[in-house]
Chains A and B, each alone.
Chain A
């Protein structure tokens, strides 16, 4: 879908981007990552010609990008940056409609598309349609930014540190949402970040850059298991490799059937969940370290898990609340299964 061939950018004598070649397949989520000044943003902006390249070639959908006028090219490629990129004098709906308007879509089609996108990003029920960017929360503004990039239904989406300016909690939600949108739409995404956890969480392929050169281009798991050299190892961070692996895994991969009971009786299994009539877990029988197996602990919403949660988060909750198992709940709070401390070890990457 996107092919960089010997892509180079020179400013005078310095080569900011130096001979980068890589291919992003259709539907791939490619994350460009590296330390500040490694050329990742420059590389991204050369794909939609916001920066012109000095040498090499960029092919999008098999076409050399220099054969098109830059405006035509950019209208075919979605582009999202930090929320300050929203047009402050336009309402949310107008912001989202930017590219369709440039493409002169009929207004009824634009209106329908805006509603569709607001629904996709769960922005439809808040009366946001007519608000101005400064009236939005950071997370809402960011969603509008991504919705705007998707408006004309481009095959390719370029994102330049889109979640750089939001707080960690919101960023977590936005990442989950972007992953969902990527699964639902199957867009090809090129995403720039300097946050390794973000990269590992979202990417199907990671391109690690340093001093303008491509150091390794691989699947996230390969990057963790088989780093190309010491730079990669250092950049990923040697200390919590295991945790980083877990941040790529979702709870549903580790979830296994849970032992249930309707009363206080201890069943045969070491960990048993006491459930109510609606199959909602009320208490954990056993399963607390350093306490007798008969100990009853009331289930607290803080230490439950959902199938989409990362295993890193689930493990963190187990450690923090000193339980060896978390109940996995569906949308209605019913018990789907459990993840356990020993289960975390049992899975191979």
Chain B
């Protein structure tokens, strides 16, 4: 597999540098490491603290490791001496190494500093830390794009990267960081809200698929229904999420009051019921649209051949149409899953709970760590869901065409 070669302007730098994206990321990362604070120290949870630069925060070997890995990345960005394939490998390994060293150094700094401070003192990550982590992630993603690597390699890399970060957390290496102390305070509540978040996403996706796939099929089979169906679904999609949550409060509380039995089952103006209904409504359009597009993409000749061979309409649907439309349907599911994970955050505003609860609580108290405890897991969830479904899309394609 070769890297697509785009004609570039024939300047000296173009002849020298093969990967400009990497050079930019490396530059941004180093600049941030030099100019921006790597960590901040504060006397307690809410006070703003003093900043600590990278050189102060890191021990000698950590600085050397960072510089060595950066140098490896710089070499990999050049046209010579490394062959492209090898360069991509170096980039993937070096950016993972950089990420791990950055994370480790932060935890290490917190441990070393807090030994001699008061128990209420806090160490938090600074802006340079975020820029560096961000640059590492982008460099790895970009390398995968350039290498046009197979799905198995991507999966392995994600597992190794995710696994090593998870091991750092599990070993208690970060326990002295401010955000992890915040976590320790709310540990039980956190796992409750995390599960609530997942349950919401799951209970939105189930009905969305159960309703959306048949609707997509209907749109495919009954051309006349298409216009109405898609304009209704489009209309749902244009309502801002907060407005939709709010709109559902009144009718649902009326319903819950009128039928106490429904109220006991959880049909109330606030809480889970309006949240899940709204999530389903948002999820419908992508599911229906992708199901319809997937079925429409099945060549008519294939369907005709299937009928001509003597398949019943049901056999044609299950053996030919659905399998061939599956990659497109799953792409719809991917959009919807990531979208639902994000929207569930907003659902916290109508008392539904979930990770959004921490974000809004933190915003109210001006406790940034609490906000991050809501935001970071949401992002991680979305990334994992996106990646997993991307894998499923690849695997659902007919064998031999996978990449």
Please list the residues of chain A having a beta carbon within 8 angstroms of any beta carbon in chain B: 48, 50, 71-75, 79, 81-82, 84-89, 98-99, 102, 131-132, 134-135, 148, 158
The reply on B400 being an interface residue by CB < 8 A is yes
Contact flag A75-B304 (CB < 8 Å), given A88-B398, A89-B398, A102-B315: no
Name 14 interchain pairs, CB-CB below 8 A, sorted by A.
A50-B307, A75-B309, A75-B310, A79-B309, A82-B301, A84-B299, A85-B302, A86-B302, A86-B305, A88-B398, A99-B309, A102-B311, A132-B399, A132-B401
Query: A74-B308, A79-B308 given. 20 additional CB < 8 A pairs?
Result: A50-B307, A71-B312, A74-B307, A74-B310, A79-B305, A81-B304, A84-B301, A85-B302, A85-B304, A85-B305, A87-B320, A88-B324, A88-B398, A98-B309, A99-B309, A102-B310, A102-B311, A132-B400, A135-B400, A148-B309
The reply on B49 being an interface residue by CB < 8 A is no
Contacts of A73 on B, CB cut-off 8 Å?
Answer: 310
Q: What sequence of 0s and 1s flags, for each residue 307-337 of chain B, a beta carbon within 8 Å of any chain A beta carbon?
A: 1111110010000100110000000000000
Q: In the complex the two chains form, is A85's CB within 8 Å of B301's CB? A: yes
The reply on B293 being an interface residue by CB < 8 A is no
Contacts of A85 on B, CB cut-off 8 Å?
Answer: 301-302, 304-305, 308
Nearest-neighbour CB distance to chain A for B205, whole angstroms, equals 25
Query: Chain B: which residue is nearest A82 at the CB level?
Result: B301
Q: What separation, in Å, do the CA atoms of A219 and B50 have in the docked complex?
A: 100
Contacts of A48 on B, CB cut-off 8 Å?
Answer: 308
Contact flag A72-B310 (CB < 8 Å), given A84-B302, A88-B324, A135-B400: yes
Q: What separation, in Å, do the CA atoms of A71 and B311 have in the docked complex?
A: 6
Q: What separation, in Å, do the CA atoms of A102 and B398 have in the docked complex?
A: 21
Contacts of B311 on A, CB cut-off 8 Å?
Answer: 71, 98, 102
Nearest-neighbour CB distance to chain B for A222, whole angstroms, equals 31
Q: In the complex the two chains form, is A74's CB within 8 Å of B398's CB? A: no
Q: What separation, in Å, do the CA atoms of A299 and B119 have in the docked complex?
A: 102
The reply on B306 being an interface residue by CB < 8 A is yes
Closest 8 CB pairs of A and B: A85-B305, A75-B310, A79-B308, A74-B310, A89-B398, A84-B301, A132-B400, A85-B301
Contact flag A134-B315 (CB < 8 Å), given A71-B310, A74-B308, A99-B309: no
Q: What separation, in Å, do the CA atoms of A135 and B398 have in the docked complex?
A: 12
Query: Chain A: which residue is nearest B307 at the CB level?
Result: A50
Q: What separation, in Å, do the CA atoms of A89 and B299 have in the docked complex?
A: 12
Q: What sequence of 0s and 1s flags, for each residue 375-400 of chain B, a beta carbon within 8 Å of any chain A beta carbon?
A: 00000000000000000000000111
Q: In the complex the two chains form, is B398's CB within 8 Å of A132's CB? A: yes
Q: In the complex the two chains form, is B398's CB within 8 Å of A50's CB? A: no
Nearest-neighbour CB distance to chain A for B64, whole angstroms, equals 51
Q: Which of B299, B304, B399 contacts A50 (CB 8 A)?
A: B304
Contacts of A158 on B, CB cut-off 8 Å?
Answer: 308
Q: Which of B305, B312, B324 contacts A81 (CB 8 A)?
A: B305
Query: Chain B: which residue is nearest A90 at the CB level?
Result: B398
Contacts of A75 on B, CB cut-off 8 Å?
Answer: 309-310
Q: What separation, in Å, do the CA atoms of A131 and B400 have in the docked complex?
A: 8
Q: In the complex the two chains form, is B309's CB within 8 Å of A89's CB? A: no
Q: In the complex the two chains form, is A87's CB within 8 Å of B302's CB? A: yes
Contacts of A81 on B, CB cut-off 8 Å?
Answer: 301, 304-305, 308
Nearest-neighbour CB distance to chain A for B397, whole angstroms, equals 8
Q: What separation, in Å, do the CA atoms of A87 and B399 have in the docked complex?
A: 12
Nearest-neighbour CB distance to chain A for B245, whole angstroms, equals 41
Most buried by A among B301, B304, B310, B312: B310
Q: Which of B302, B304, B307, B310 contacts A99 (CB 8 A)?
A: B310
Contacts of B399 on A, CB cut-off 8 Å?
Answer: 132
Nearest-neighbour CB distance to chain A for B303, whole angstroms, equals 9
Nearest-neighbour CB distance to chain B for A337, whole angstroms, equals 44
Q: In the complex the two chains form, is A89's CB within 8 Å of B301's CB? A: no
Q: In the complex the two chains form, is B324's CB within 8 Å of A102's CB? A: no
Most buried by B among A48, A88, A148: A88
Most buried by B among A72, A89, A148: A89
Query: Chain B: which residue is nearest A85 at the CB level?
Result: B305
Contacts of A99 on B, CB cut-off 8 Å?
Answer: 309-310
Q: What separation, in Å, do the CA atoms of A146 and B311 have in the docked complex?
A: 17
Q: Which of A79, A89, A148 contacts B324 (CB 8 A)?
A: A89
Nearest-neighbour CB distance to chain A for B7, whole angstroms, equals 31
Nearest-neighbour CB distance to chain B for A8, whole angstroms, equals 22
Q: What separation, in Å, do the CA atoms of A204 and B327 have in the docked complex?
A: 46
Contact flag A134-B308 (CB < 8 Å), given A84-B301, A85-B301, A88-B324: no
Q: What separation, in Å, do the CA atoms of A52 and B398 have in the docked complex?
A: 33
Most buried by B among A74, A82, A85: A85
Most buried by A among B309, B312, B399: B309
Contacts of B302 on A, CB cut-off 8 Å?
Answer: 84-88
Q: What separation, in Å, do the CA atoms of A135 and B401 have in the docked complex?
A: 9
Q: What separation, in Å, do the CA atoms of A260 and B260 have in the docked complex?
A: 108
Nearest-neighbour CB distance to chain B for A140, whole angstroms, equals 15
Contacts of B299 on A, CB cut-off 8 Å?
Answer: 84
Most buried by B among A87, A135, A158: A87
Query: Chain A: which residue is nearest B320 at the CB level?
Result: A87
Query: Chain B: which residue is nearest A99 at the CB level?
Result: B309
Nearest-neighbour CB distance to chain B for A71, whole angstroms, equals 5
Query: Chain A: which residue is nearest B311 at the CB level?
Result: A102
Query: Chain A: which residue is nearest B397 at the CB level?
Result: A89
Q: What separation, in Å, do the CA atoms of A123 and B399 have in the docked complex?
A: 21
Q: Which of B301, B309, B324 contacts A74 (CB 8 A)?
A: B309
Contacts of A89 on B, CB cut-off 8 Å?
Answer: 323-324, 398
Q: What separation, in Å, do the CA atoms of A48 and B308 have in the docked complex?
A: 7
Nearest-neighbour CB distance to chain B for A198, whole angstroms, equals 20
Contacts of B401 on A, CB cut-off 8 Å?
Answer: 132, 134
Contact flag A87-B306 (CB < 8 Å), given A82-B301, A132-B400: yes
Query: Chain A: which residue is nearest B299 at the CB level?
Result: A84
Q: What separation, in Å, do the CA atoms of A89 and B301 have in the docked complex?
A: 14
